Amino acid sequence: MRGLVALASQKSAKRTRNGVLKGEVMKMGIAFIKVAAVYLLVGVCLGLYMGIAEKFEYTAPHAHINLLGWATMALFGLIYHFFPRAGNSKLGKIHFWLHNIGTLALILGMVFFANENEAIALPLAIPGAILVIIATLVFLVNVFQNLENENRV
């Protein structure tokens, strides 16, 4: 019996007040920030290409790359980094994958729309947009379930 009590106290001693193991990587926060940085580069390059080539039909994908890809994912990353209980939860992981898959599908669909290829655009854009909405709902639930005034250690 003493062995179990000692083991339990060791496990609790290794955890911070917010329930995260000391030294544990804030995986979802960092993952969101890294993906956001990639979207930033893609958005800047696309914007430069649009300006030089005067191909402004890519305005919608460009805007969504910068807003859903760069800005929104960077904010998710910061929130999950500073509130690791939410970031490391199952909902945080589900949110990460739904938002990333949905954003990519939506943006690719918009590119096909810009090139007047609706046969490919619709099957990408519609499910992509739905996934982004579902991901946003998952984020909302995650925030209300797992965000508290955490003292970072």
Distance of alpha carbon 111 from alpha carbon 58, whole angstroms: 7
Q: Alpha helix (H) ranges present in the chain?
A: 2-14, 27-53, 59-64, 72-82, 84-87, 90-114, 118-146
pLDDT of residue 140: 97
pLDDT single digits (tens) 36-70: 999 999 999 999 999 999 999 999 999 999 999 99
pLDDT single digits (tens) 78-113: 999 999 999 999 999 999 999 999 999 999 999 999
Tell me if the pTM is above 0.95: no
User: Is there a contact between 88 and 26 (Cβ–Cβ < 8 Å)?
Assistant: yes
Query: 7 vs 2, 18, 21, 97, CA distance in Å?
Result: 8, 20, 15, 35
